Structure 1
Amino acid sequence: MARDLFRGTVPYYVRYRVPYPDPLLNRILDLTVAPGRGRLLDLGCGTGELAVRLSPSFQETIAVDPNQEMLAAAKQLAHELKLPNIQWHHQRAEEFSADAASFDLVTIGAAYHWMDRPIIASRVHEWLKPGQPLVIFGYSSIWRGTMDWQLLVCSVIKKWLGAKRRAGLGEYNDAADPHELVLIQAGYTLDEIEYQHPHTWTLDELIGNLYSTSFASPAVLGDKQTAFEADLRKTLLDYDNGGTYQEEMTFYALLATPY
């Protein structure tokens, strides 16, 4: 399933996803590694957002993802930035294996919910060096937004795709246990860092970002895409004809340290 969740999204993912703020990434590096030393494992690396930006702080980085298109985009970015210390693995996180106590940091960027979380938590517990964390990154979603314009976006999505949040060809599991519970049960202590980041969306950027998601991608919309986009543009311009929309985005890093 993981291979199909983001089918056709890569061009939108690369261009329209909002990057993690530098202060948040720098805070994690300050807490976890000495510059230029150690090994990083990035699971569910996608287009390389975390692996590429964090790799200069490590001697070696291993990045894992099941989506070949996303890996190709990540490799291209690393090549353009002349980052030779990243190894790319085309496989599911659950298929990856490593020696015990072999990583100084393991990261997962907004992808843990797509994985078999208890299995990953258990394995990462063994792969980390003593005292080093698994860090799960994430950010606020338009789907869960409470601002008027966000509610309008969701109403248009539900009009064309149904009330349940989509996840590729299936539906998103809203009833799943929170990450915190899964990690506590797997033997981790937890800490969390949040960072507020004001962001202004243009209408084109907002639509491009939606097309990068598993719940409103071109593949999910299918032959409804043109009508959906026209409806969304009209709805938002009727709400605010300036064509820009403000959001106070919340980015977070959940630090899970084995005990």
Structure 2
Amino acid sequence: MNRHLFQGTVPYYARYRVPYPQALLLQVCEQAPLTGSGRLLDLGCGTGELAIRLASRFEEVLAVDPDAEMLAAAQQKAREQQATNIQWRNQSAEQFSTEPDSFELITIGAAFHWMDRPVMAPRIRSWLQPQQPLVIMGYTSIWSGNADWHPLVREVVKRWHGEKRRAGTGEFNNLAAPHELVLLDAGYQLEEIKYEHPQTWTLDDLLGNLYSTSFASPAVLREKQPDFEADLRATLLDFNPNGVYEEQMMFYALIAFPHS
């Protein structure tokens, strides 16, 4: 993963990303037989959303991310929430290495698509203790969502960036294969949990969320940011003048157990 993909996004990421619903995290913990004394590895941890919220269920947590700004925000949040059992590593998932059978659970929250998945899937498998899972989490985005106003946002983004989705300074590469196929090829068996979450956005919250992404960050928009923002506000207010926009977000957890 390019450590500059999310340059300038951290304040927006920490404030405007929608957190994983607690009910979904509880379901994940029920599916993964946890002892309370094990270790968690959170790869691509970002601002610590999963690492911090799951920390109380483990003796030790190792959280890994290549973006130093993201890690600094995560460490600050961990201090505020008194999550003291987390170690932070500033490196990519591909750079990380550990002993076999080291972790009771390994999580990746909305970051597996940035990783070298065919390389990482079997490596992660070796790091898991027997019968323990890898859990990949994510949610619908503006690009995949089907709310009636989503196409309008996509049109505005494309007006300012062109038809191809951006990813930092480059273009987003669509995945050659879905996560499920990569994991099956690496010898996992899969279960999936889906959780629908009603989300209401104000224009300010929606813009903040967009600025937290790799395709519409301030670093990507640069001098276009004021005009992009004016265009988005005008487009959405024309669609719904009350400035409130609703969607049913779909969160998911892909629970991958290595074949015994």
TM-score bin, normalised by smaller chain: over 0.9
Deviations 1:14-42 (A, max 9, x none): 00000000000011111214353211000
CA distance in 2, matches of 1:255, 1:145: 22
Q: What is the identity, as a one-letter code, of the residue corresponding to 2:51? A: A
CA distance in 1, matches of 2:176, 2:158: 21
Q: 2:52 aligns to what?
A: 52
Counterparts of 1:254 and 1:148 in 2: how far apart (Å)? 27
* Aligned mates of 2:180, 2:31 — CA distance in 1: 20
- 1:11-22 pair list within 5 angstroms: 11-22=11-22
Q: What letter corresponds to residue 155 of structure 2 in structure 1?
A: S
Partner of 2:123: 123
Q: Which runs of structure 2 are paired with 1:102-141 in the superposition (5 Å)?
A: 102-141=102-141
Residue 43 of structure 2 is aligned to residue 25 of structure 1? no
Which is further off, 140-149 or 205-214?
Answer: 140-149
Distance 1:226 1:41, change over 3 A: same
Identity %: 63
Q: Secondary structure at the match of 1:254?
A: strand
Report the equivalent of 2:151.
151
SS of the aligned residue for 1:97 comes to coil
Runs of 4+ in 1 over 4 A off after TM superposition: none
TM-score of the pair, normalised by structure 2 = 0.98
Aligned to 1:75: 75
The offset of 1:122, in angstroms, is: 1.1
Deviations 1:139-166 (A, max 9, x none): 0001222222111000000001011111
Gaps of 5+ in 2: none
Q: Secondary structure, in 3 states, of the residue corresponding to 2:149?
A: helix
Backbone CA RMSD of aligned residues:
0.9
- Listed one character per residue, the Cα deviations across residues 92-122 of structure 1 (whole Å, up to 9, x for unaligned) are 0001111111100000000000001111111
Q: Which residue of 2 aligns with 1:230?
A: 230
Q: For 1:119 and 1:216, how far apart are their aligned partners in 2? A: 29
> Aligned residues, how many?
259
